[in-house]
């Protein structure tokens, strides 16, 4: 099965807790045509606007994802400097994404269709730039990992690339 660059980027982003932004930033019909994007549904728009109005940001969600991933990967004290760098890039990316997305939500009511498409393009480009910043930070961390940690990281990324379907179905139950 061929995987597009877009699918790979969004799958990786899902692991980092930014999948909600990725789904909302993706133009309707882009990527998997069977996927319903939050921004294309009335309830998704209402939820997005509510989050924007209440000041809800992704930083708390990302902090929880960082903590969960750190625990799964069993980061050692020796790996802490690389982990801290990786986690900081994730948090910085989340903050920037949140700010860009909040701006989009504020301006969406007055956007034309062409402006809407341009806004999607800008979010997608910024997302790609954020991922380019994240890759070297993760590679530096990955290089310090034991084979067992690498195996865990590989599996976490695979599961998240598939939306966690394997884990939900219990296909990896008992693996450690």
Q: DSSP labels for 127-168?
A: HHHHHHHHHHHHHHHHHH--HHHHHHHHHHHHHHHTTTHHHH
In a domain, 170, yes or no: no
- Does residue 52 contact residue 102 with C-beta atoms inside 8 Å? yes
Name the residue range of residue 129's domain.
18-28+38-162
Encoding tokens for residue 137?
């930070």
Q: How far is CA 43 from the centre of its chain?
A: 21
Q: Are 155 and 15 in contact (CB under 8 A)?
A: no
The pLDDT score that the predictor gives to residue 57 is 57
In this structure, are residues 130 and 16 in contact, taking their beta carbons and an 8 Å threshold?
no
The answer to the question of residue 7 being in a domain is: no
For residue 18, the 8-state DSSP code is -
Indicate whether 58 pLDDT > 50.
Answer: yes
Question: What does pLDDT average to over the chain?
Answer: 73
Task: Give CA–CA dist 148/29, Å, rounded.
Answer: 39
pLDDT value of residue 7: 43
Percentage, residues of the chain above pLDDT 90: 52
CB 39 within 8 A of CB 28: yes
12 domain residue, yes or no: no
Domains held by the chain: number: 1
Domain-located, residue 174: no
pLDDT digits (tens, 9 = 90+) for 39-48: 333 334 434 4
Tokens 């290089």 belong to residue:
143
Residue 4 in any domain: the answer is no
pLDDT score of 63 more than 50: yes
- Asked if the model's pLDDT at residue 59 lies above 90, the reply is no
pLDDT tens column, 68-106? 999 999 999 999 999 999 999 999 999 999 999 999 999
């Amino acid at each position: 099965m061929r995987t597009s660059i877009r699918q790979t980027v969004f799958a990786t982003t899902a692991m980092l807790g930014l999948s909600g932004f990725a789904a909302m930033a993706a133009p309707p019909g882009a990527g998997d045509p069977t996927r319903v994007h939050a921004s294309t549904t009335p309830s998704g728009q209402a939820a997005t606007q509510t989050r924007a109005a209440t000041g809800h940001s992704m930083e708390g969600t990302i902090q929880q994802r960082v903590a969960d991933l750190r625990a799964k990967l069993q980061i050692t004290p020796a790996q802490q400097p690389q982990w801290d760098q990786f986690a900081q890039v994730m948090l910085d990316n989340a903050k920037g994404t949140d700010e860009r997305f909040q701006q989009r939500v504020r301006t969406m009511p007055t956007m034309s269709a062409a402006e809407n498409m341009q806004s999607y393009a800008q979010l997608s480009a910024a997302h790609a730039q954020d991922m380019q910043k994240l890759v070297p930070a993760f590679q530096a961390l990955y290089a310090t990992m034991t084979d067992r940690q690498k195996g865990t990281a590989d599996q976490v990324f695979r599961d998240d690339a598939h939306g966690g379907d394997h884990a939900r179905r219990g296909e990896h139950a008992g693996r450690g």
